[in-house]
Chain A
């Protein structure tokens, strides 16, 4: 009996604790995601609900006491609407109804205290950044209350498009060469070099863009055409940065295509090029597309190169030789140094960050879906 008990399964508390700890380690990644979404969402919410006080040029005509809810304002300035939130001195009031120049308000809202006011001071009206303005406005000038994200998105898309023009053809061609053409020796020399390229910090690429690519572009197209900071230079260098990513992911996909397919093509009399382009590449299409999508996502999120070489100042331009500020570049510029918390700048970068996060997340998910759905499975 005693023997059997000794061999029976015993609860091992130590093992349980260890397992729980390891689970927590795994869960930290979930916490990170939740943290990202919460932080970006929360600060963005503040950005969109934040009141920006704007002078209405309307003034109080007569003195009012703390109890009065109806008073007269001057005829000048903005037209007010029911529901507007106004500020007089330190007090915030909400407009309940309007009859000509007579306002009926609710006193002391938003935690302020109703107080007596003398005639004279101008009203400030609360403005909010609407989602519509955020997504359609073509000016990003926080100092005058313009928050249209399009110039930043536009610059991001221009640099990413240029980067893709560089990285996709070159990366794919390199992948085809390495996978289909290169001898074992050539492959073992060329591949590590591409990997070294991928391991260089992006700030070094930024330096390269500013001190090499930009002067090169300016000497080719003329100093009057190409500005010192421009999206073309940044885009090309982002493209170079991404070549290894595209080529290594595409090469993996090409490599996974079974040899039997190639042999069948050769058997039908196809040349190497025809086999590569018409048989192998289509067979690896899902993997290659996934590589492209990940590359786009990487280009959109790339920060230092554009922060250094693309310029500061959100300008809405499609000209790649002009300076423009990307979303990431703007975040870096605004947050460099001591940004004060709860300022409109602080909130605004989180709104941009949220947009950026969703753009890259969507692309990453799309890429994973492509692989999962369109993958040709070869036995």
Chain B
């Protein structure tokens, strides 16, 4: 009776039971929805994970800093220009210019001022250097002047801190006297406050030099030299008991003494510190601190006896200090007299600043011949000759090969590609310079999420664990990633060979399986009678669709790669060398995948053909068409959109297939483009598999980038399928 009541309750109990049943129903409804959403969550996680790995911070150790390489190149070009004299003693250089009407040079404004009666400054881009044009920044060669020192000296050498304090207090009084311009009020205030912050004080104290003792060693820029010398003299005049030594060695040498040797306390600098120098300093335990003390207008100077040049454009400056031999080379209006150049030497910050401002110093922007001349001295003759045989550097002359050898090898039966191909592009040579001169090495990478939300932590970790490395935000997927061939260095590696391999394989696959698949579908739908053989064929096709793809790989290995080796390696067609060729070719892979997608193509095509109304066929027969005419002219065109959609969907299946191709023997490391059905090859999914299996983190990053390429490829294919379907179905209805 009780059970009966439970099953068929009445009154209040009934209402309760209904309520309970609805509540349970609601809970389950939510559970069902949640299960459906798991799919979306999984998809999101998958894409998130790939994006997260494909971008992010990387610690990159360059063997050489690309900016330094470019700068060095430009400086060397100036120093090696014909008829050029250089040195660190600016006074001597200016004196020489004064005597020669065809001489030219560039110096700090102070030197120009000092020798104002015998030399004059040229207007650059129509602007003459002066206090006003320098302050407004209108004059293109305006540069700030700095001191570099470090706060860590404060304890051992309080006199250094005192000197810098003194410098900041008094520089304004003497700077114009020396010939430079005070830095803007804002810049000075900022310099003061950052200096105070670094030394842990609030206000600049009034310095009494007499209260200090000990040595101060200052070295660096010849530009800043007169100013620093002046202030050092003042410092000593006011009673400093120790010794201040100011040396005029150039910014570069000064920074080296400060960072590497540690025997310089304060550096005079006429340019900002380079990243490489900063790293060296930090590695040496001296965190360099930059203090702005003034502004200079770097002046392009000629003799007062020069009566033809009054102004130059930046373009003219470039040739004036490099390749031009006579004045008329630079400007037709000037005399055909050789240019005599007197410039500061390679250690000076002035020439660095000049090169940096006047010439491009981004390595990637250098012209091809510049890149070649950077590359040539760093690689061995043998490597150079190999590169040149692969592809020439220039159309009309050779860099590494001698003309005779070149003629001989190009006359051979199979000349190397360099003989006939187009010369290397600037981009190509840039790639070689990066690969062989800069030699970037990614030592560690971080995911996108870490790079954004834990940026500070990551940066400190890089500074602590990889002192020689630069943090760099990298997108692992770049244009060069798509166009580069494989390489054993992840940062230089690309998917070019893999993408080409995939395209080749898929082309063979579809050429093989589409006609056969459609043929089989036509047979089964239009011709086959209901008998045993046809039933077996149909069942068999359905079963084949369920066979794991790796089994097809083994079939391909045994049949196409081994048994049909002479055909698939191309030996039978004379397309390959019988002694080295084997059957692990694009053709074998294409045929294997062709068999794999055949059942899918057949089943899809069957459905498309089945959907064609019988009335169409009957109408055709009624007009006297034969069976094949009916199929060819009426059934197939109507079924085409369905067939094509099925074919494209099975193509996207084939593009993503990995396992069968691993078994068939796609090569793992291929650096050359596949050039036909008998080439060895690799495909995108295999590339992804290989990179994923490597333990280094960088390979995971490029695997993620390769996945993005693969997904984009698939997306394109599927979008094409949808477009095709829409287009054809419109036409037919």
Q: B49 contacts which chain A residues (CB < 8 A)?
A: 207-208, 211-212
Tell me the smallest distance from the CB of A267 to a CB of chain B, in Å. Answer: 16
Q: A349 contacts which chain B residues (CB < 8 A)?
A: 554
A19, A173, A243, A368: which contacts B523 (Cβ < 8 A)? A19
Q: How far is the CA of A182 from the CA of B36 in the complex (A)?
A: 10
Interface centre among B21, B523, B626 (most CB of A within 10 A): B523
Q: Which residue of B lies closest to A34 (CB)?
A: B540
Supply 28 A–B pairs (Cβ within 8 Å), ascending by A.
A23-B527, A24-B519, A25-B519, A26-B528, A30-B536, A33-B543, A36-B552, A36-B555, A39-B559, A170-B38, A173-B35, A178-B36, A193-B43, A202-B656, A202-B659, A203-B688, A204-B688, A205-B46, A211-B704, A212-B46, A301-B547, A303-B549, A332-B663, A337-B668, A339-B665, A360-B548, A361-B546, A364-B546
Tell me the smallest distance from the CB of B139 to a CB of chain A, in Å. Answer: 54
CB pair A328–B550 under 8 Å, yes or no, is yes
Tell me the smallest distance from the CB of A37 to a CB of chain B, in Å. Answer: 10
Is A240 among interface residues, defined by CB-CB distance under 8 A? yes
A23, A181, A203: which contacts B658 (Cβ < 8 A)? A203
Q: B551 contacts which chain A residues (CB < 8 A)?
A: 36, 40, 301, 353, 356-357, 360
Tell me the smallest distance from the CB of B219 to a CB of chain A, in Å. Answer: 52
Q: Which residue of B lies closest to A360 (CB)?
A: B548
CB pair B599–A29 under 8 Å, yes or no, is yes
Interface hit among B25-33, B127-135, B451-459: B25-33
Q: How far is the CA of A207 from the CA of B53 in the complex (A)?
A: 11
CB pair B559–A35 under 8 Å, yes or no, is yes
Is A14 among interface residues, defined by CB-CB distance under 8 A? yes
Is A234 among interface residues, defined by CB-CB distance under 8 A? no
Is B662 among interface residues, defined by CB-CB distance under 8 A? yes
A303-B541 contact given A22-B527, A271-B25, A308-B693, CB 8 Å threshold: no
Q: How far is the CA of A360 from the CA of B627 in the complex (A)?
A: 39
CB pair B700–A335 under 8 Å, yes or no, is no
Which residues B684-723 have CB closer than 8 A to chain A?
Answer: 685, 688-689, 692-693, 700, 703-704, 707, 710-711, 714, 718
- Interface magnitude class on chain A: 35 or more
CB pair B598–A169 under 8 Å, yes or no, is no
Q: How far is the CA of A338 from the CA of B583 in the complex (A)?
A: 11
Tell me the smallest distance from the CB of A189 to a CB of chain B, in Å. Answer: 9
- Interface magnitude class on chain B: 35 or more
Q: How far is the CA of A307 from the CA of B688 in the complex (A)?
A: 13
Is B558 among interface residues, defined by CB-CB distance under 8 A? yes
A331-B663 contact given A26-B524, A199-B652, A204-B710, CB 8 Å threshold: yes
Is A221 among interface residues, defined by CB-CB distance under 8 A? no
B43, B518, B548, B658: which contacts A201 (Cβ < 8 A)? B658
B29, B527, B659: which contacts A307 (Cβ < 8 A)? B659
A28, A177, A194: which contacts B516 (Cβ < 8 A)? A28
> From DSSP, what is the main secondary structure of chain A's interface residues?
helix
Q: B40 contacts which chain A residues (CB < 8 A)?
A: 190, 193
CB pair B543–A364 under 8 Å, yes or no, is yes
Smallest CB-CB A-B distances: 3 pairs: A301-B548, A201-B656, A25-B519
Interface centre among B31, B551, B710 (most CB of A within 10 A): B551
CB pair B689–A308 under 8 Å, yes or no, is yes
A-contact bits for B516-551, CB 8 A (1 contact / 0 none): 111110111001100000101100111110111111
Tell me the smallest distance from the CB of A6 to a CB of chain B, in Å. Answer: 12
Tell me the smallest distance from the CB of A372 to a CB of chain B, in Å. Answer: 11
Q: A122 contacts which chain B residues (CB < 8 A)?
A: none
Q: A287 contacts which chain B residues (CB < 8 A)?
A: none
CB pair B548–A199 under 8 Å, yes or no, is no
Is A94 among interface residues, defined by CB-CB distance under 8 A? no
Q: B518 contacts which chain A residues (CB < 8 A)?
A: 25
CB pair B35–A177 under 8 Å, yes or no, is yes
Is B64 among interface residues, defined by CB-CB distance under 8 A? no
CB pair B36–A32 under 8 Å, yes or no, is no
Which residues A126-148 have CB closer than 8 A to chain B?
Answer: none
Q: How far is the CA of A331 from the CA of B558 in the complex (A)?
A: 14
Q: How far is the CA of A165 from the CA of B116 in the complex (A)?
A: 90
CB pair A14–B544 under 8 Å, yes or no, is no
CB pair B658–A15 under 8 Å, yes or no, is no
Q: A12 contacts which chain B residues (CB < 8 A)?
A: 626
Q: How far is the CA of A247 from the CA of B38 in the complex (A)?
A: 12
CB pair A207–B659 under 8 Å, yes or no, is no
Q: How far is the CA of A181 from the CA of B35 in the complex (A)?
A: 13
A294-B554 contact given A177-B32, A336-B668, CB 8 Å threshold: no
Q: A243 contacts which chain B residues (CB < 8 A)?
A: 38-39, 42
Is A297 among interface residues, defined by CB-CB distance under 8 A? yes
What's the A-B contact tally at a CB cutoff of 8 Å? Answer: 259
Q: How far is the CA of A173 from the CA of B33 in the complex (A)?
A: 8
Q: B599 contacts which chain A residues (CB < 8 A)?
A: 29
Tell me the smallest distance from the CB of A251 to a CB of chain B, in Å. Answer: 11
Q: Which residue of B lies closest to A327 (CB)?
A: B550
Is A315 among interface residues, defined by CB-CB distance under 8 A? no
A336-B662 contact given A19-B527, A204-B688, CB 8 Å threshold: yes
CB pair B523–A23 under 8 Å, yes or no, is yes
A-contact bits for B69-104, CB 8 A (1 contact / 0 none): 000000000000000000000000000000000000
Q: How far is the CA of A177 from the CA of B34 in the complex (A)?
A: 9
B515, B540, B549: which contacts A29 (Cβ < 8 A)? B540
Which residues A264-318 have CB closer than 8 A to chain B?
Answer: 271-274, 277, 294, 297-298, 300-304, 307-308
CB pair B547–A361 under 8 Å, yes or no, is yes
Q: A320 contacts which chain B residues (CB < 8 A)?
A: none
CB pair B598–A28 under 8 Å, yes or no, is yes
Is A18 among interface residues, defined by CB-CB distance under 8 A? yes
Q: How far is the CA of A356 from the CA of B659 in the complex (A)?
A: 14
Q: Which residue of B lies closest to A23 (CB)?
A: B523
Q: How far is the CA of A179 from the CA of B544 in the complex (A)?
A: 29
A174, A336, A368: which contacts B35 (Cβ < 8 A)? A174
B534, B598, B710: which contacts A32 (Cβ < 8 A)? B598
Q: Which residue of A lies closest to B561 (CB)?
A: A341
CB pair A28–B35 under 8 Å, yes or no, is no
CB pair B546–A32 under 8 Å, yes or no, is no
B-contact bits for A323-361, CB 8 A (1 contact / 0 none): 000001001100111110100000001100100110011
CB pair A22–B523 under 8 Å, yes or no, is yes
Tell me the smallest distance from the CB of A375 to a CB of chain B, in Å. Answer: 16
A40-B554 contact given A177-B35, A240-B42, A360-B548, CB 8 Å threshold: yes
Is B602 among interface residues, defined by CB-CB distance under 8 A? yes
Q: How far is the CA of A288 from the CA of B554 in the complex (A)?
A: 32
Q: How far is the CA of A341 from the CA of B25 in the complex (A)?
A: 61
CB pair A361–B543 under 8 Å, yes or no, is yes
CB pair B36–A173 under 8 Å, yes or no, is yes
Q: Which residue of A lies closest to B629 (CB)?
A: A15
CB pair B45–A212 under 8 Å, yes or no, is yes
Tell me the smallest distance from the CB of A171 to a CB of chain B, in Å. Answer: 8
CB pair A197–B693 under 8 Å, yes or no, is no
Tell me the smallest distance from the CB of A359 to a CB of chain B, in Å. Answer: 9
A33, A273, A301, A339: which contacts B550 (Cβ < 8 A)? A301
CB pair A29–B520 under 8 Å, yes or no, is yes
Q: B33 contacts which chain A residues (CB < 8 A)?
A: 177, 181
Is A176 among interface residues, defined by CB-CB distance under 8 A? yes
Q: B711 contacts which chain A residues (CB < 8 A)?
A: 200, 204
Q: Which residue of B lies closest to A336 (CB)?
A: B662
Is B672 among interface residues, defined by CB-CB distance under 8 A? no
Tell me the smallest distance from the CB of A289 to a CB of chain B, in Å. Answer: 15
CB pair B43–A196 under 8 Å, yes or no, is yes
Is B595 among interface residues, defined by CB-CB distance under 8 A? yes
Q: B522 contacts which chain A residues (CB < 8 A)?
A: 22, 25
Q: How far is the CA of A170 from the CA of B688 in the complex (A)?
A: 29
CB pair A43–B550 under 8 Å, yes or no, is no
B22, B544, B554, B707: which contacts A207 (Cβ < 8 A)? B707
CB pair A201–B28 under 8 Å, yes or no, is no
Is A244 among interface residues, defined by CB-CB distance under 8 A? yes
Is B334 among interface residues, defined by CB-CB distance under 8 A? no
Tell me the smallest distance from the CB of A216 to a CB of chain B, in Å. Answer: 9
Is B557 among interface residues, defined by CB-CB distance under 8 A? yes
14 A-B pairs besides A331-B663, A361-B547 with CB distance below 8 A are A22-B523, A25-B516, A39-B555, A177-B32, A181-B33, A190-B36, A194-B36, A196-B43, A199-B714, A201-B657, A207-B49, A243-B38, A328-B659, A360-B547
